[in-house]
Amino acid sequence: MSASVEASRLIRSVAGPVAAGTKVKTLIHRAARLLGWSDSRAFDVWYERARRIDAAEMDALRKAARVRAEDEARERYTEVMGALDDIRRRLDAVEEDRRRA
């Protein structure tokens, strides 16, 4: 994979989850803000128009993408654990009802 393609893929992941109706311009601005880049630089990377990608830029993209992925994984873990707690409470209630019957 070329650096330009990888950088484009990474900046899209840095922009984060996309809600229905979110404008691409908003996502590019979000990614630029998170990376400390100008909107025009983020735009060029997003659309694979950047003539070159510096090693420092690629490192920043990889780090930001990793942080985003870790944050999303933590959020998902919290959701799943909450769902499991809810299931446990429901099962406990069913067991209690069976014991009483």
For 55-101, write each residue's pLDDT tens digit.
999 999 999 999 999 999 999 999 999 999 999 999 999 999 888 87
Residues 3, 58 contacting (CB under 8 angstroms): yes
Q: What angle do CA 19, 5, 71 make, to 5 degrees?
A: 45
> Phi and psi dihedrals of 30, rounded to 5?
-60, -50
For 8-28, write each residue's pLDDT tens digit.
999 999 998 888 899 999 999
* Cα–Cα dist 27/34, whole Å: 11
